[in-house]
Copies of this chain bind each other. A is one copy, B any other.
Amino acid sequence: MIKNITNVRGFTCWGAHSGVKSLRRDLAIIHSEVPASLGIVFTQNQVVAEPIKITREHAKNGIAQTIVINAGNANACTGEQGYEGARAMVSTAAGELGIDEDLVLVASTGVIGEPFPTGEIVNSVKEIVPKLSNRSSAGSFAANAILTTDTFAKEGFLEFSLDGREVNLAGIAKGSGMIHPNMATMLAFIVTDVDIAPELLQKVVKEAVDDSFNMITVDGDTSTNDMVAVLANGKAGNERIADEKSKDCNVFRNKLREMMQHLAKLIVSDGEGSSKFVEYRVDGAPDKQTARTIARSISDSILVKTAMFGRDPNWGRIVSAAGNAGVPFDYTAVDLYLGNEKERVKVLEKGRPVAYDRNFMKKLLRESHLSVKLDMCEGEASAVAWGSDMTTDYVLFNSVYTT
């Protein structure tokens, strides 16, 4: 049926209602039956939530077994009380599971600055541990228990062969692209039964995050709580991946990137204040970093976002946003294409406007998935960023919405 985290060998999970959020599941545990290699990336925000402080410490040896996530309270800017609460999450889970505390990671998402509801969380952790299950519904419970303003649970599942073994890779994420863009926490938890050395997993995770979650969030806009964690428990029985140049490592790297891009795109798709999904591709860049920076700059431009909402093929705004990226950019060299996922029309050639059918373009831009392609005609590097449009609803939501 629907495959999820519970279909990855050796992993169980659950999600329940601790009482922090009204009538919604808000506490999830993901658990591996054996300690697993860990790859993890944290928020770049200078202010970090209490659970991040603990998880950073526990991540240092590259091994983890259990992740406990609560939604509804971010446990950020909560001081000593919050830190003790996060510690209690760890010690309760470790105690109930009978594992070392430093194998437990914690993450939180929700309202910032409210006292942490330690009592409810601790009681709920105790209730959840005996329920940890590999039934499909348990995966749904966990995926839903980490949500806040999200309108749907974000899940992915992939299976592939490696060293003659079947490997499973599953992930869940939360985050909604448009509501509170500077505040909304992005969390992703990915589990796999592949066997990979911790230090190599860390490297591969970092690369994949750069090509996925970091292409939907401009650096500096990360929240106090952002975290992407990957656990690999080795239960697939493949020969341990330890060489980053090996074929096996390459296969895993590609699958992990595919999973992260899938989850990142689902995050962009969410948010009631947006009406369109836009893919921004930069080709022909002199190097990868330039391509990334320009793609992100365009996707983050409010003028571009509103043009996309208005179905306005406003190439001036796109070129202008590229020019604002802070890297060398020669607009007289570029070709620019606009359209949707099925068809694109060239609107600029070597920086000069190309005549096109305006009615046809309006029709292309009416679809839900738009595509912008900028060819710098300079080198071989490419990058893709994803973003949404900006609607009148967005402004309304942000003026009335209280978390």
Contacts and interface: CB of A to CB of B under 8 A. Distances in A.
Given A17-B151, A24-B151, A141-B269, 4 more contacts: A2-B4, A23-B397, A144-B151, A152-B153
Interface in A238-287: 262, 265-266, 269, 272, 275, 277
A312 B203 CA distance: 51
A133 to B, nearest CB: 6
Nearest to A368: B131
A191 to B, nearest CB: 15
Bin chain A's interface residue count.
35 or more
A140 interface: yes
Given A137-B266, A368-B131, A1 B144 contact: no
A369 B1 contact: no
A341 to B, nearest CB: 8
A181 interface: no
A366 interface: yes
Contacts of A277: 137
Interface string A1-24: 111100000000010010000011
Contact of A1 (B133, B262, B269, B367): B262
A155 B2 contact: yes
Contact of A133 (B131, B144, B154, B368): B368
A41 interface: no
A158 interface: yes
A356 interface: no
A135 interface: yes
Contacts of A133: 368-369
A174 interface: no
Contact of A157 (B2, B17, B275): B2
A31 to B, nearest CB: 14
The CB with the most chain B CB atoms within 10 A, among A14, A152, A158, is that of A152
Given A23-B401, A152-B141, A155-B2, A17 B272 contact: yes
3 closest residue pairs by CB, A with B? A144-B152, A131-B368, A137-B269
26 contacts: A1-B156, A1-B157, A1-B158, A1-B262, A2-B3, A2-B4, A2-B157, A23-B149, A23-B272, A24-B151, A25-B272, A130-B366, A130-B367, A130-B368, A131-B367, A133-B369, A135-B369, A137-B277, A140-B153, A140-B266, A141-B151, A141-B269, A143-B152, A144-B151, A144-B153, A152-B153
A157 B136 CA distance: 12
Nearest to A147: B152
A153 B158 CA distance: 20
A152 B140 contact: yes
Contacts of A156: 1-2
Contacts of A127: 275
A265 B154 CA distance: 21
